[in-house]
Amino acid sequence: QKEVEQNSGPLSVPEGAIASLNCTYSDRVSQSFFWYRQYSGKSPELIMSIYSNGDKEDGRFTAQLNKASQYVSLLIRDSQPSDSATYLCAVNGGYSTLTFGKGTMLLVSP
């Protein structure tokens, strides 16, 4: 069974710091990787997708993928209190579906 593992947290960082969120996955043939942000009581919002090994940057967000290690990470630079949310890692699971991790709660303190 395909699995996506995340530390549940909470990960606490001060405002302005770099938050580092990690995710590992079990299926070696996975090709598509996504990070979603979910505020409490709301639905997930797509932050980034990444398909190739290496880094992908978008504003304050950087996704990192290492397929050999089956590892995906999300870095948030200059963290803001508004970044406080649960971050979900998702991996394509075949037949167009995504397998989600349980999410890491991020708390950014002012």
Partner 1 sequence: GAVVSQHPSWVICKSGTSVKIECRSLDFQATTMFWYRQFPKQSLMLMATSNEGSKATYEQGVEKDKFLINHASLTLSTLTVTSAHPEDSSFYICSAKVGEGTDTQYFGPGTRLTVL
Minimum CB separation of residue 17 from partner 1 in Å reads 25
- CA neighbor of 105 nearest in space, from 89, 85, 91, 82: 85
Minimum CB separation of residue 16 from partner 1 in Å reads 28
Q: Which two tokens stand for residue 71?
A: 């590892």
Interface pick for partner 1 out of 13, 72, 103, 108 (rule CB under 8 A): 103
| Residue 50 binding partner 1, by CB under 8 A | no
- CA neighbor of 29 nearest in space, from 93, 74, 101, 89: 93
Interface pick for partner 1 out of 42, 57, 59, 78 (rule CB under 8 A): 42
What 3-state class would DSSP assign to 36?
strand
What 3-state class would DSSP assign to 67?
coil
| Residue 69 binding partner 1, by CB under 8 A | no
Residue 7 to residue 5: CA distance in whole angstroms: 7
Interface pick for partner 1 out of 3, 15, 45, 78 (rule CB under 8 A): 45
Could you list the residues that contact partner 1 (CB under 8 A)? 32, 34, 36, 42-46, 49, 88, 90, 92, 95-98, 100-103
